[in-house]
Amino acid sequence: MTPPRRGRPLPALLLTAALTAALALTAGCASGPAGTTAAPSPSATLAPMEPPPIGDVPRLSRADDRALPIETYLLSGEQFRQLDAAQGVLVTRCVRGFGLDYSALTPTAPTPSAPAATQTTHRYDPVDISDVSANGYHSPDPDRGKKPGAAPPLGPDVTTVLGAGLGPDGRPAPGTATEYRGRQLPSGGCIADAQRRLAARGGTGRDADVAVGVNYEGFERSRQDPRVLAVFGDWSRCMAERGYSYGTPGDALKDPRWGAAATPSAEEVATATADVECKARVNVVGVWFTVESAYEQELIRQRLPELTAAKAANDAMLAVAASVTTTGA
């Protein structure tokens, strides 16, 4: 299973590898599994909480077509793309204003065959028989067989005018150029200027800490919940019937034998296949998703004023981005 996505920064404009990290709207966190940010497990520090009631539990073999309650307050992959596209427009305009030939490369919209990932896309993995039949517990490599494309080099003049963007404290990096050929540069360069313009009405270009906290806490609480532990027990007994000894799906996923090989072995594929089939048989995903949703609903109720403010800030920033990309304003 994949940890929930951490509050990631606005995706960088696709310029050069050297500048990628600098172009995030606010300095974010290191990338973790499947685009998430690894965070220390808060399970040891969570305050006691009564398991919330749940209604009917649907039978689910996967949950990537369902949304968790907290997703209302998190930026989606498509919204990050919209912010990134708007930042590209602003940066390009700024750089060209200094007489330089430049065009920021921005990502294209997801195709129907490759939908943007949601919080539930890989949350309870593995769940897809076709995936594990080919990859076991290894992550599929969508770029296998493709030759990496080299990003066009940036000249020193463009690099100077771009600047390095804003740091985690909202200030330009020390040493950023302040002028170019006698003309005053925006503080922090064109990247920082675009970041400030997008955030002028609110928002920071990253998921609010309060929403990130609910996302992680709901996940942590759910996997310790007695109803989820009970279905893990059912799954474990199903696996034992097939000759596998694992206490939880996480134990199977983290078996050190899988990480020691670059490609999945026949044993790994067989284990992952049994894992997916047992999850479906005892309804691991249905129970887990329902319980986690209930925890999130309670956590949202407790923190609603902060979450409402965070969503309003995100909406304000997205409105600015829409104006930039549709009218250039």
DSSP string, 250-300: HHHHT-HHHHTSSS--HHHHHHHHHHHHHHHHHTHHHHHHHHHHHHHHHHH
Is residue 80 a part of any domain in this protein? yes
Rounded CA gap, 313 and 74, in Å? 11
Which of 216, 204, 171, 202 has its CA nearest to residue 189? 171
pLDDT at 20: 34
Is residue 250 a part of any domain in this protein? yes
Is residue 44 a part of any domain in this protein? no
CB 307, CB 210: distance < 8 Å: yes
Rounded CA gap, 234 and 6, in Å? 30
pLDDT at 232: 98
Q: How confident is the model at residue 185 (pLDDT cuts 50, 70, 90)?
A: very high
Across 28-42, 144-158, 199-213, 293-307, least confident range: 28-42
Is residue 244 a part of any domain in this protein? yes
Q: Which helix (H) or strand (E) holds 168?
A: none
Write out the E strands in 23-181: 179-180
pLDDT at 191: 95
Is residue 120 a part of any domain in this protein? no
- Which residues neighbour 217 within 8 Å (Cβ) at sequence distance 6 or greater? 42, 46, 295, 299
Is residue 246 a part of any domain in this protein? yes
CB 206, CB 9: distance < 8 Å: yes
How many domains does the structure of the chain reveal? 1
Is residue 165 a part of any domain in this protein? yes
Across 35-39, 63-67, 190-194, least confident range: 35-39
More confident residue, 28 or 152: 152
Is the torsion defined by CA of 105, 320, 25, 207 positive or negative? negative
pLDDT at 26: 33
Report in angstroms the alpha-carbon separations of 276 from 109, 142, 240, 269.
Answer: 31, 21, 14, 11
Residue position matching structure tokens 């199977």? 252
Query: Coil, strand, or helix at residue 180?
Result: strand
Q: Is pLDDT above 90 for 146? A: no
Rounded CA gap, 316 and 310, in Å? 10
Query: Coil, strand, or helix at residue 78?
Result: helix
Rounded CA gap, 320 and 316, in Å? 6
CB 319, CB 325: distance < 8 Å: no
More confident residue, 33 or 218: 218
Across 143-152, 261-270, 318-327, least confident range: 143-152
pLDDT digits (tens, 9 = 90+) for 200-253: 999 988 899 999 999 999 999 999 999 999 999 999 999 999 999 999 999 999
* DSSP letters for 39-64: ----GGGPPP-PPPP--PPPP-S--T
CB 268, CB 257: distance < 8 Å: yes
Q: Is pLDDT above 90 for 324? A: yes
Q: Residues for the chain: how many in total?
A: 329
Average pLDDT over the chain, rounded to an integer: 84
75: containing domain? 17-26+64-110+154-327
Query: Coil, strand, or helix at residue 89?
Result: helix
Verify cis geometry, omega within 30 degrees of 0, for the bond prior to 126: yes
DSSP-assigned letter for residue 121: S
Six-digit token pair at 262?
A: 């670059």
pLDDT at 148: 57
Q: How confident is the model at residue 15 (pLDDT cuts 50, 70, 90)?
A: very low
Is residue 307 a part of any domain in this protein? yes
pLDDT at 18: 28
Rounded CA gap, 232 and 279, in Å? 9
